[in-house]
Amino acid sequence: MAYIREQQIKRGDKTYHYYQLVRGYRENGKVKIEVLKHLGRFDSKAEAQAAAGVVTKSNQVPTRAMEEKYPYVWYWREQARPALGDRKGQRCRVLARGKMNSAMVEFEPDGFKTITSRNALRKARGT
């Protein structure tokens, strides 16, 4: 997942704030960071987010799957929930999340809604 990182550089008695769009990933079990874009010097993180085109509450850049209307795929087969029929691989979205690993889900083609375990959902890969 990409995010905005702040780098503080002190020169004499002044402190400059530079911002970068970076992505964290694992390689051979170690966490690495790749700089995707140097955004430059800004007075605040909000200005850097605006320059990067990020319009989120946090500093995380939404991925392609998150921007789509139905960012999840139903993972369970019919045996797990016979009343739903065979919906494995169907796109869906979460309308509400419960405290005990539950979620209210709406399916893409017919708008069918159900409450189920979040274990039945997987993030959709880019299409």
For the full predicted model, state whether its pTM sits above 0.85: no
Same domain (yes/no): 108, 76: yes
Report the residue count for the chain.
127
Give 32's contacts (C-beta < 8 A, 6+ positions apart). 24, 25, 26
Look up the CATH number of the domain holding residue 79.
2.30.30.40
pLDDT digits (tens, 9 = 90+) for 16-74: 888 888 888 888 989 998 888 888 887 777 777 777 766 554 544 444 444 467 788 88
How many angstroms separate the CA atoms of 72 and 116, rounded?
A: 14
Q: How many domains would you assign to the chain?
A: 2
How many angstroms separate the CA atoms of 68 and 40, rounded?
A: 29
Same domain (yes/no): 19, 48: yes
Same domain (yes/no): 56, 90: no
> Between β-strands 121-123 and 102-107, what pairing exists: parallel, antiparallel or unpaired?
unpaired
Same domain (yes/no): 70, 99: yes
Alpha carbon 115 to its chain's center: 22
Same domain (yes/no): 91, 54: no
Same domain (yes/no): 93, 52: no
Same domain (yes/no): 76, 56: no
pLDDT digits (tens, 9 = 90+) for 60-113: 444 444 446 778 888 887 777 777 778 888 888 888 888 788 888 888 778 888
Same domain (yes/no): 54, 95: no
How many angstroms separate the CA atoms of 113 and 90, rounded?
A: 13
SS3 label, residue 25: strand
Query: Residue 85's domain spans which residues?
Result: 66-123
